[in-house]
Structure 1
């Protein structure tokens, strides 16, 4: 890496006639990417035809990723029935979650060493092979193992498609493309559950995995033929020597030890059980060692310490951690409201959250176009955060037994609009504040922080929900004659209340569920407020109209 001089002159293109020169001191960690006016500067590295085809491939990849996350859930009953292994059902999601999360911070640095194209092809190849094996599984153990392998590829795919997009488009144009990516991801979350239900009911659950093959094949062919990017220097041996093996192992072990107790707490084991406490302690020790290795030992760390010296980067990571907590917990618990309180099926509950997803898709596109037109980012993050807070407050107050369809649609649409404004603009914010050599790792940490936040958000809201629910049901049970209802089923089967013939008891239990859900929803309000406060520390960075090779 070439050391920068104490003072460098950076030329930023604001228009075709005007040039704005800024002299930045080396100590300013938030210097913009150098953009000298020379022959290496272009608005894109690809021709228009190549760019459109590569972008199409990236849209296929993001659709593939979103579809895979959503399609399996509706197939689980048929899978469990065929393999007769209900006790292992949670491991299908857990295995995928662990490997996809841990692969994200690692894949960014690997793409720096070996190149974007080979790393992306390896990721999507791994995912497609694993999907084939999932569809061909003969027992639950096989499915769980291959689902974990699919997660390794899927986590890297999400990272790399964002990194590749930053390689082939300028910062100023990127908002438009990222808005479309957000829209396609939203579409995949709508199609996924519906396709899973159709495959399960009319073909076989195995097609939920086989459907990935034709989509992935088209993506691979386009990438091989049309994605032409500069190749990193060095022989294969030299590149292998550059890998931070110790850091990668520590990331994997540390994140697994962090996610397992978070996923198990309050369900598989009590939060104060030795298993949960021990895993958290081990995670803390491993991640502490990781910090030391990345700062003091690794020659090319997978998580560069320099990123955490940049105020905007740190604020962005914190924001995405908090945003992930609110977003994923809202997606997780809103279908539960419709199924328990409104008594609809799982499929219908998935359709009823469409206003949230439509708001997300529409305003992700709007935000992308606005950032490309104005060259501004943080203002839309602020706006989206405030709208999300308003939507969260309304949902926490009015989602009860008496809420109307209009209220449900309107409030979900509001919070979806807020989520849409920040879903892609935060990526532009992080990419515009780091030097080009840290772009891939910064993008990887952006994705990683959001996913980790989602896992913790679902766990925290789950702890609040279960605590209020169990306390309320225990109190009600003590006030009624013995045997009035089965308290064990009421605590563990959310749909049990619809089997209770006594309408008064049913209404009482339903109100307890409402109280528990509203208490969980209220947790999102301070989380989103803190996210907004963290966004105030974002600095404005000029979105470049050109890119440098």
Structure 2
């Protein structure tokens, strides 16, 4: 059965308005008129949803429900794949570096992945408009699996670093493409359910990853942390190839290549790599006032400025269209996503350090201690998704989420070296609920505020802003953490000269005796507390930005909504 025969009534809604398809399409007006059919219209920007869907307002999906569920399972596996890879490898990096006798280069295992994943992420939205959703999604998965196979087969640190960079190129597109495809297949009113489950899977993988990484490292081989991606990815590929069908995008390969914003893509990737290197090295590998960090920051800023000029004046189909930033809701959503990413990553990075360094737990045990955050995230993601689908209101969940997340982050700063299990669980549960209410709901908000032709680009850019927030948040918190550790150890250096080594390896604290160990743990506790404090103003700023989000009706049909 052809794609046309499968879903003739909805094929026109699967791609942007400026793309030519094999199937006939009908142009939709950009402003409401008196002749617009009731089932294809939506209130203008800012008009509240009238309430529950009526009997005549049923969703129309591009796939039959059974096929949609199978496709959704495949997409979920793709998200699980990408999210798992971010956390499972973190536990194995020390073992990998020791095997390759390259401990000094251990940071590059994560850095190369982060650089390519972040830099290529915003490109996928526009590329999916040009080459088609299915082709670009298959490309992302294939590149990611190829990189994973090369990582597992690496024979030295150089091969590992390059292979992780290849994996990052693919991983940067998987999450964005999943959200874009769900947008194409599911009506706005029903989208919250699916995106809520995606958010829950993302949170679950952040806990399963360290546990699996610890098991592989301790009982098998670190190489399985990469090889495990292959069977999961193979299932995803089969499901996508067999069941995911979109109208074919017309045009020869040459015509499609001409539509690509090559200059914009090159300048964006180059500028982001320079800036991310500066943020990654600043305060750790090199002082912030060193020539190399200042040079990277200045060079990165200059290249990003060139990118913005290209997008503004030269690009025919820009990667980051300027008109996205002309709408109050879009700017509010992108800003909220940025601050959400910052708070989320700060908490997910420093709470495991609290359990491992201060509470002296193993990496596996620290992963289990984080379960309250995951439980809260799972509950809030799924609950908010179904409630949004029922009521059509999403802003209250965003506001509630930021309030809970910020409050929980503040409460975590009250933890002490000897805090009981009750406060730990309660505070982390509050944080998890807050993250769960926000994570996918902000995406739903921006998708309801853009016309269909910008849906893919808006989705990819929101994911990009959230990732950049993670990088900047962890960079600032890391600087605060390192400065507090150095200042805390300074009075002890005169008495215990060897204590400086504890700053690089906290497990050496016990070698100085119980009394000194207690002082060292207090220093680390103060440093972790300061790092978590950084998340509080980020959360407040995110909440304030979310107040500017204007409500748009979540329609129950899959056709393009009439937007502002």
Task: Report the counterpart of residue 458 of structure 1 in structure 2.
Answer: 474
Does 1:254 pair with 2:271? yes
Does 1:108 pair with 2:125? yes
Instruction: Please give the alpha-carbon distance, in whole angstroms, between the structure 2 residues aligned to 1:11 and 1:181.
Output: 38
Instruction: Please give the alpha-carbon distance, in whole angstroms, between the structure 2 residues aligned to 1:183 and 1:268.
Output: 35
Q: 317, 328, 349: which is aligned to 2:334?
A: 317
> Superposed, which structure 2 residues align to 1:328-347 within 5 Å?
328-347=345-364
Alpha-carbon deviations, 1:302-335, whole Å to 9, x = none?
Answer: 1111100011110111111111111101100111
Q: 136, 140, 149: which is aligned to 1:123?
A: 140
For the 8 Å contact 2:112–2:161, the answer to whether it is kept is yes
Task: Report the counterpart of residue 487 of structure 1 in structure 2.
Answer: 499
Task: Report the counterpart of residue 512 of structure 1 in structure 2.
Answer: 523
**Alignment CA distance shift 1:515-1:7 (3 Å):** closer
Secondary structure of 2:32's aligned partner: strand
Does 1:426 pair with 2:442? yes
> Superposed, which structure 2 residues align to 1:290-309 within 5 Å?
290-309=307-326
Instruction: Please give the alpha-carbon distance, in whole angstroms, between the structure 2 residues aligned to 1:56 and 1:11.
Output: 40
Q: Deviation at 1:83? A: 1.2
> Superposed, which structure 2 residues align to 1:231-310 within 5 Å?
231-310=248-327
Q: Deviation at 1:206? A: 1.3
Does 1:182 pair with 2:199? yes
RMSD (Å) for aligned C-alpha atoms: 2.2
Q: Deviation at 1:423? A: 0.9
For the 8 Å contact 2:207–2:370, the answer to whether it is kept is no
Does 1:409 pair with 2:420? no
Task: Report the counterpart of residue 161 of structure 1 in structure 2.
Answer: 178
Instruction: Please give the alpha-carbon distance, in whole angstroms, between the structure 1 residues aligned to 2:46 and 2:119.
Output: 27
**Alignment CA distance shift 1:305-1:9 (3 Å):** same
**Alignment CA distance shift 1:372-1:278 (3 Å):** same
Task: Report the counterpart of residue 36 of structure 1 in structure 2.
Answer: none
Q: Deviation at 1:19? A: 6.4
Q: Which runs of 5+ in 1 are unaligned?
A: 33-40
Task: Report the counterpart of residue 384 of structure 2 in structure 1.
Answer: 367
**Alignment CA distance shift 1:222-1:505 (3 Å):** same
Give the TM-score of the pair, scaled to structure 2: 0.90
Q: Which has the higher contact order (CA 8 A, sep 6+)?
A: 2
Q: Which runs of 5+ in 2 are unaligned?
A: 1-16, 19-26, 50-57
Q: 531, 539, 546: which is aligned to 1:528?
A: 539
**Alignment CA distance shift 1:23-1:261 (3 Å):** closer
For the 8 Å contact 2:47–2:553, the answer to whether it is kept is no
Alpha-carbon deviations, 1:470-500, whole Å to 9, x = none?
Answer: 112113445xxx3x35232132222322222
Q: Deviation at 1:350? A: 1.6
Where has structure 1 moved over 4 Å in runs of 4 or more?
1-7, 10-13, 18-24, 28-32
Give the TM-score of the pair, scaled to structure 1: 0.92
Q: How many residues align?
A: 528
Task: Report the counterpart of residue 150 of structure 1 in structure 2.
Answer: 167
Q: Deviation at 1:214? A: 1.0
